[in-house]
């Protein structure tokens, strides 16, 4: 165990944290974070629409979600190349990169004539601009993969051309004019790429991208994919101090399209279980389901653990558990890491089985207020009391899992405190 801990601490964790800071990865992370207000608006609309179930005159606010969460991919198409250029120290052309990202994204999701019934020529080829339309659903979660890959491509091209300029350093031309001319060629190249694939070659890059990643998405939506991914992201890696943001770009590609598909699904259609809404149900107190541990720490004999428990309880109630993970600590602590790993497996397993069996409804609406107390989240994401009951069951299980490990750790800490107390008293007596 010691060799494994040393390897994780000295080799694996630093490499993973370095990966998370890679500009190509972190630009995706930051772009999604920048779009979080749109996601929260969609969540707020979901909460308000519950009123409509009980008040007949209350308006349907679903369209607000369509023009907030429903534009997620469009926002990412701008944000990813924009942020990437800033990270590459090419801030002067960051805005132009963002605009080029939008242009390429719209070309990638632009439907071919054959995609729209009644608009195709007899041979199925593109026959002009008449009747062309953009599918609204592709602007949201369906287009996320196209937005991410397109955004990275735009960032790559713009970054390459940023190394060259038509003007000398001592040029008298204003900076904004220099930027105009220096970005003309790369932006033209980007738009030409999209135009050639979509309109000249008749290739639907949107379909190709989604088809390529379909097997990966299918694995992520399977029982083992759901359990393994959540275990790695919210328990195993986290217990070594590795931020869950390392896997966030991968997670976003799985969970956001899934909840979008669930929201659009007709009654009785297949629903995807692996969504962020589902995950939030078993992250009671945060990754590793640590609220139970925090509450149990309030009864500890160790003064240190009791103080940590008291100082961390309020954040834990709102699913913020960095204070307890690094304050108890759980991270790099073999005694408390084990129950965190156990709950990292049991939480997803219990949730998946209860939803797949129909005991608990699968979330169908966007609701990413992850910082609400978990019993409330359980009801809001499922719109059923069964969701709250599931949260309480998982919480009870987590209490049983954490209790024996905390007792062992508490005895160790209490013994160390007593030993230190006796040493301090002996030192005082010696000085006297």
Region 408-430: mean pLDDT is 84
User: Phi and psi (nearest 5°) for 87?
Assistant: -70, -30
Domain stop point among 182, 213, 244: 213
pLDDT at 65 over 70: yes
Mean pLDDT of 112-137: 55
Give the whole-number percent of the chain exceeding pLDDT 90: 40
> Who's near 247: CB < 8 A, 6+ residues apart?
229, 232, 233, 237
Q: How many residues does the chain have?
A: 432
User: What is the three-class DSSP state of 158?
Assistant: helix
Q: First CA to last CA across the chain, in angstroms?
A: 45
Same domain, 177 and 228: no
Residues 174 and 242 in one domain: no
Which tops the pLDDT comparison, 73 or 370?
Answer: 73
Domain termination residue (choose one: 155, 186, 213): 213
Domain membership of residue 32 (yes or no) is yes
Residue 409: which domain range? 222-430
Q: Looking at the structure, do residues 51 and 99 belong to the same domain, yes or no?
A: yes
* CB of 414 closer than 8 Å to CB of 302: yes
Task: Examine the pLDDT at 73 and tell me if it is beyond 80.
Answer: yes
Please write the tens of the pLDDT for every residue from 187-231.
999 999 999 988 888 888 888 888 888 898 899 999 999 999 999
Considering the domain boundaries, does residue 13 fall inside one?
no
The predicted-structure confidence for 75-121, as pLDDT tens digits, reads as follows: 999 999 999 999 998 888 899 999 999 999 999 987 665 555 444 44
79 and 209 share a domain?
yes
| Residue 399: inside a domain | yes
Within-domain flag for 412: yes
Residue showing tokens 């097997």: 215
Same domain, 235 and 188: no
State the CB neighbour count (10 A cutoff) for residue 19: 13
Is the predicted pLDDT of residue 328 greater than 90, yes or no?
A: no
Please, which pLDDT band fits residue 345 given cuts at 50, 70 and 90? very high
Inter-CA distances, 229 with 162, 213, 254, 329, 391, Å: 38, 16, 10, 23, 20
Residue 15 has pLDDT above 60, yes or no: yes
Are residues 165 and 273 both part of a single domain? Answer: no
Q: Tell me the CB-side half-sphere exposure of residue 399, using CA atoms within 13 A.
A: 9
**Do 174 and 257 have their domain in common?**
no
Q: How many domains does the chain have?
A: 2
Tokens of 106: 């719209």
Query: Angle 72-87/94-109 helices, nearest 10 degrees?
Result: 140
Per-residue pLDDT band for 122 (boundaries 50, 70, 90) equals: very low
Judged against a pLDDT cut of 50, whether residue 126 lies above it is answered with no
- For residue 290, pLDDT beyond 90: yes
């Amino acid at each position: 165990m010691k060799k494994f801990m040393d390897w994780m601490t000295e080799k694996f964790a630093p490499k993973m944290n370095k990966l998370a800071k890679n500009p190509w990865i972190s630009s995706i992370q930051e772009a999604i974070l920048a779009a979080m207000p749109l996601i929260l608006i969609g969540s707020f609309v979901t909460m308000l629409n519950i009123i409509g179930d009980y008040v007949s005159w209350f308006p349907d606010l679903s369209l607000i979600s369509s023009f907030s969460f429903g534009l997620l991919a469009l926002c990412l198409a701008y944000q990813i190349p924009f942020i990437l250029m800033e990270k590459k120290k090419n801030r002067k052309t960051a805005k132009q990169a963002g605009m080029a990202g939008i242009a390429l994204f719209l070309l990638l999701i632009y439907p071919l004539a054959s995609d729209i019934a009644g608009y195709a020529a007899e041979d199925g080829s593109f026959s002009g601009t008449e009747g062309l339309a953009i599918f609204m659903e592709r602007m949201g979660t369906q287009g996320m993969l196209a937005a991410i890959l397109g955004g990275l491509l735009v960032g790559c091209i713009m970054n390459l051309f940023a190394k060259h300029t038509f003007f000398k350093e001592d040029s008298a031309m204003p900076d904004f004019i220099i930027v105009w001319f220096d970005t003309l060629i790369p932006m033209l190249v980007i738009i030409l790429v999209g135009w050639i694939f979509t309109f000249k070659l008749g290739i639907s890059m949107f379909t190709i991208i989604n088809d390529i990643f379909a097997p990966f998405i299918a694995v992520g939506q399977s029982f083992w994919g759901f359990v393994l991914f959540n275990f790695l992201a919210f328990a195993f890696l986290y217990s070594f101090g590795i931020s869950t943001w390392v896997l966030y770009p991968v997670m976003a590609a799985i969970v956001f399209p899934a909840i979008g598909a669930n929201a659009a699904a007709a009654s009785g259609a297949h629903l995807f279980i692996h969504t962020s809404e589902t995950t939030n149900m078993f992250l009671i107190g945060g990754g590793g389901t640590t609220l139970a541990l925090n509450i149990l720490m309030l009864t500890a004999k160790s003064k240190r653990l009791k103080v940590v428990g008291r100082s961390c309880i309020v954040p834990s109630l709102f699913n913020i558990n960095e204070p307890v993970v690094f304050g108890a600590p759980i991270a790099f602590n073999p005694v408390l890491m084990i129950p965190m790993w156990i709950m990292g497996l049991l939480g997803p397993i219990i949730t998946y089985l209860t939803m797949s069996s129909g005991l608990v409804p699968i979330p169908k609406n966007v609701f990413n207020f992850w910082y609400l107390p978990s019993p409330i989240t359980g009801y809001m994401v499922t719109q059923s009391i069964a969701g709250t009951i599931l949260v309480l069951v998982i919480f009870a299980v987590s209490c049983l899992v954490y209790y024996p490990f905390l007792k062992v750790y508490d005895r160790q800490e209490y013994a160390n405190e007593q030993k230190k107390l006796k040493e301090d008293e002996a030192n005082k007596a010696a000085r006297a």
